[in-house]
Structure 1
Amino acid sequence: MTILNESGAPDVVSPLHGLSGLAERFPNTLLVVAGTRADAHLVQSLSVPLPGTPLDPSVRPGSGSGVHPRVVFVVLEPDEEPSGGALASRVIEAAAGFRRTGLVLLVACRSATLLGFDAEFEAEIAGRRLGLPVRALAPDAGGSGVLYTDLEDGAIRSLVELCPRSVTGSGEEPPFSKGNILGRLPFRGRTGRRTAPEEPGARRPVVLLGALPGPREELAAELARVGVEVAGGVLGAETDRLPAIGEGTIVAAVDPYLVAAYRAAEERGATVVRSLLPIGVDGTARFIQDVSTLAGRGASEAGRARQVWESLEPLRSRIRGKRVFFTGDTGLEVPLARFLADAGAVVLEVGTPRLDRRSLAAELSALGEDVDVVESPEWRAQLDRVDAARPDVVVASPGLYVPLVARGHLCRSSLDLLSLGVHGYEGARRILELFARTFERAEKLDALSL
């Protein structure tokens, strides 16, 4: 395998694109976006809810702009002085209009940073005055290695930091339960205590990070089948119902881009799973085996994986031998490429804006020696490589999608896969069905000779 870093400017959709979808998946979280009018217009233009996520019945009806009602804007003027506490006051004013708010995420656009606002400082002040947690995120701060999914990573990290460290409380009054102008928030068990030393061979609870609600429930059911207790998931949980994460807890991130969230769980003393991600048949089987081993159960998934592969054979026959090229912007590229290669496709190149070798060590070793991985690709050179390779399909970032289609390439948007639900055995079927439909439609269009 060749891993090349071109140190280029890869084509990546701004993480702000995912604000509305994230708001739908965080039931009682308010997202306050601080930036100029241009930033507000960008968010309104790009915010598209992710498919398959339930709407929060408690929020007010939207204005029809496509922005979720729990995404609000603090508009900063270009000549505004970044006086300490000014932004915090506006965050408090925005939060006062919403009930049942358990967490406020202050999303600082790049312009807020350039204007001199210290989002971390302002969030701390706002949290003290509100009596509830306020966390600052800067997903679009610029620089190399920005992923479309960085906003989700930062948001889940914030939730991990709010999780109780142990299942049982100490009787102490938890933080943010008194003096809260938005109502009492019972963060059960958040006492900072460490869990008692576990007994050898004891079963340990598992917490899942990431994934859409449906696939996450499918994974939990597969783990329950082998006797593994899933204590809960962070994404989608209300802030007063977050699972415990600390010593004695096993944390399994199901998405490769949750690097900051994983690090936060490690810092709390949790055991993090270093395995193949539950994407594709072999990845799901290996994930379940490794999680069950850490949880004190131990289970072989070889038979189950063999059955799933047999059921997918008609779809594999449509994929086998097809040449696939990933331009990449979501961080899912490496495990998706590994699964398609397992299914019989020929992966020509895997492009990704950022490659975390520690979290992807198992994936990279399973990807195979014949696949080129390009980190931070230079988009012009990448277009030239696509033209030279003439793949059967390109998984393209939205910015390169139209130019590639105009050059005659068959493409799928990377965001299609992000919102598909790619995890677990059923996710493997959905992935193969997506590509099979893509090839079938292309063949039908070719037959028309238009």
Structure 2
Amino acid sequence: MSEAFALDLPRPTGGCADAPVLRERGQREVFCGLTGIVWLHRKMQDAFFLVVGSRTCAHLIQSAAGVMIFAEPRFATAIMEEKDLAGLTDTNDELDRVVDRLLARRPDIKLLFLVGSCPSEVIKLDLSRAAGRLSEKHSPNVRVLNYSGSGIETTFTQGEDACLAALVPQMAAAPANAEPSLLIVGALPDVVEDQFRRLFAAMGIARVEALPARKISDLPSVGPNTRFLVAQPFLGDTARALEDRGAVRLDALFPFGAEGTTDWLHAAAQAFGVDEMLFRSVVAPGRERAARALEKVRPALEGKSIFFFPDSQLEVPLARFLSRELGMVPLEVGTPYLHRTHLARELPLLPSSTRLSEGQDVDRQLDRCRAARPDLSVCGLGLANPLEMEGLTTKWSIELVFSPVHGFDQAADLAELFARPLNRRDRLSDAIVPARANRREAAPCS
């Protein structure tokens, strides 16, 4: 590897690796894990997500997904009425009837998830037992699994983690002498996953699988010769389940921006013995495209301060990307859970002046944000409008999960998501000042 190229790969600088973490346990402002269904149902083409919950759960999913009434989405809600919550009916019998009707109407379903919610967990409905019973009843045509999407103690991205962790026991066991394989872990948009597959193929890594697979029949096997890259920092339970099956996690930055994507790909190249010159030749075009595209966005973001409220668990790698590749200044990086093992490469690359916070006491954090007056605040929908009313510019964190943001070709799109609120603020300021001046000129003399 040439020295010039080596210097482009991230080097730990101390940063926030050993920085104190402000741990808060108070009122939180986050979505629940049911939200993950919105992107998961698009990824798994023969899966269906049946939420066992209330009308509020149904309205949340419908609103988040924006599905029109005449569409045929692959999610629904088995609505629990007052008599179910009061124990006046046999909830399991009711659930069985709903599932039977659903599968009769939708024979294309091959994988059915029963998704727990706050109401179903409050009444202690055992969806694990229900999934086993229904899976046996509808075997071999349909597999029925369950996971919790409850928002009582979790943040919204943990719904994906719980879903993928439920899939790991369904993966076949690969023999000890199986050909080495690479597993991409995380629900990436198909276009992004295909980009990564092409890059790995060009490096000569033959066996590349994904979790989740697009169809249940394509669910890969797992064993001691499986190496996996985690695409999302919030997949702690899934990674642990894979490691329990013998798979080995490859330590890397997360694939945000040119730097993160290069390091993520490089971890796989090293694990599979790819020649360094070949690796350089494969990643160079995409890396250069990303760098050129980011330079166009950099003037809008360089020197601007940013404050992350804890919401998606993407906060740390996004702060690293914005700081190192776009020149932003992260004042506080809050995250619902600071997974030090998965973020071991990320934390040293944050500026040492950054405050790290884990969990949330929303009132105290709002006070810190108001005192800091950042140029941009990244937060959930529930905080955005109040902060905008106070004159602070905000970015909805949930949009960072819904949008294709991984990889070289999406690096500039990711940067634009942060630049747009600032551009909007500047345009509004430019429009408001002349309007006020015109009103003063037009005012009649007293």
TM-score (norm 2): 0.83
Q: Aligned equivalents of 2:351 and 2:57: distance in 1?
A: 42
Does residue 71 (structure 1) correspond to residue 76 (structure 2)? The answer is yes
CA displacement 1:118-169 (0-9 Å, x = unmatched): 11121111111121432221121512xx121111112222333322333xxx
Q: Aligned equivalents of 1:72 and 1:400: distance in 2?
A: 27
Query: 2:414 corresponds to which residue?
Result: 431
1:161 to 144, 154, 169: 169
Does residue 371 (structure 1) correspond to residue 354 (structure 2)? The answer is yes
Query: 2:313 corresponds to which residue?
Result: 331
More helix by share: 2
Q: Aligned equivalents of 1:438 and 1:42: distance in 2?
A: 25
Query: 1:54 corresponds to which residue?
Result: none
Task: Return closer, same or farther for 1:358/1:308 CA change in 2, 3 Å cut-off.
Answer: same
Task: Return closer, same or farther for 1:255/1:264 CA change in 2, 3 Å cut-off.
Answer: same
Q: Which stretch of the first structure deviates more once superposed, 406-415 or 9-18?
A: 9-18
2:155 to 125, 128, 147: 147
What SS does structure 1 have at the residue aligned with 2:197? Answer: helix
Query: 1:124 corresponds to which residue?
Result: 132
Task: Return closer, same or farther for 1:68/1:100 CA change in 2, 3 Å cut-off.
Answer: closer
Query: 1:25 corresponds to which residue?
Result: 43
Q: Which stretch of the first structure deviates more once superposed, 302-311 or 273-282?
A: 302-311
Q: How far did residue 5 of structure 1 move?
A: 0.6
Question: What is the one-letter code of the residue matched to 2:262?
Answer: A
Q: How far did residue 352 of structure 1 move?
A: 1.3
Q: Aligned equivalents of 1:41 and 1:436: distance in 2?
A: 31
Question: What is the one-letter code of the residue matched to 2:119?
Answer: S
What SS does structure 2 have at the residue aligned with 1:362? Answer: coil
Q: Aligned equivalents of 1:316 and 1:32: distance in 2?
A: 43
Q: Which stretch of the first structure deviates more once superposed, 16-25 or 79-88?
A: 79-88
Query: 1:195 corresponds to which residue?
Result: 176
Query: 2:375 corresponds to which residue?
Result: 392
Question: Does structure 2 retain, via aligned residues, the 8 Å contact 1:92–1:130?
Answer: no
Query: 1:207 corresponds to which residue?
Result: 183
Question: What is the one-letter code of the residue matched to 1:114?
Answer: V
2:344 to 345, 350, 361: 361
Aligned length: 403
Q: Aligned equivalents of 1:126 and 1:74: distance in 2?
A: 18
Query: 1:36 corresponds to which residue?
Result: 54
Q: How far did residue 73 of structure 1 move?
A: 2.0
What SS does structure 1 have at the residue aligned with 2:408? Answer: helix
Q: Aligned equivalents of 1:323 and 1:230: distance in 2?
A: 42
CA displacement 1:327-354 (0-9 Å, x = unmatched): 1311111100010010211001111112
2:392 to 401, 409, 417: 409
Q: How far did residue 63 of structure 1 move?
A: 2.6
Q: Aligned equivalents of 2:419 and 2:299: distance in 1?
A: 9
Q: How far did residue 420 of structure 1 move?
A: 2.1
Question: What is the one-letter code of the residue matched to 2:62?
Answer: Q
Question: Does structure 2 retain, via aligned residues, the 8 Å contact 1:223–1:230?
Answer: no
CA displacement 1:33-67 (0-9 Å, x = unmatched): 11233433443344447xxxxxxxxxxxx634x88
Question: Does structure 1 retain, via aligned residues, the 8 Å contact 2:378–2:397?
Answer: yes
Query: 1:313 corresponds to which residue?
Result: 295
Query: 1:284 corresponds to which residue?
Result: 261
Q: Which stretch of the first structure deviates more once superposed, 264-273 or 85-94?
A: 85-94
1:352 to 335, 354, 376: 335
Query: 1:111 corresponds to which residue?
Result: 119
Q: Aligned equivalents of 1:376 and 1:162: distance in 2?
A: 32
Q: Aligned equivalents of 2:420 and 2:99: distance in 1?
A: 48
Question: Does structure 1 retain, via aligned residues, the 8 Å contact 2:115–2:147?
Answer: yes
Q: How far did residue 116 of structure 1 move?
A: 2.5
1:2 to 5, 15, 20: 20
2:30 to 3, 6, 12: 12
CA displacement 1:307-363 (0-9 Å, x = unmatched): 743553232232211111111311111100010010211001111112222222222
Question: Does structure 1 retain, via aligned residues, the 8 Å contact 2:58–2:77?
Answer: no
2:222 to 232, 242, 245: 245
Query: 1:224 corresponds to which residue?
Result: 201
Q: Aligned equivalents of 2:78 and 2:344: distance in 1?
A: 39
Task: Return closer, same or farther for 1:18/1:321 CA change in 2, 3 Å cut-off.
Answer: same
Q: Aligned equivalents of 2:376 and 2:414: distance in 1?
A: 14
Q: Aligned equivalents of 1:404 and 1:384: distance in 2?
A: 11
Task: Return closer, same or farther for 1:80/1:252 CA change in 2, 3 Å cut-off.
Answer: same
Task: Return closer, same or farther for 1:317/1:228 CA change in 2, 3 Å cut-off.
Answer: farther
Q: How far did residue 414 of structure 1 move?
A: 0.6
Does residue 294 (structure 1) correspond to residue 294 (structure 2)? The answer is no
What SS does structure 1 have at the residue aligned with 2:112? Answer: strand
Question: What is the one-letter code of the residue matched to 1:209?
Answer: V
> Where do 5+ consecutive residues of structure 2 fail to align?
1-18, 436-446
Task: Return closer, same or farther for 1:141/1:318 CA change in 2, 3 Å cut-off.
Answer: closer
Q: Aligned equivalents of 2:311 and 2:259: distance in 1?
A: 24
Q: Aligned equivalents of 2:190 and 2:288: distance in 1?
A: 26
Query: 1:186 corresponds to which residue?
Result: none
Question: Does structure 2 retain, via aligned residues, the 8 Å contact 1:275–1:362?
Answer: yes
Question: What is the one-letter code of the residue matched to 1:424?
Answer: G
Q: How far did residue 440 of structure 1 move?
A: 2.4
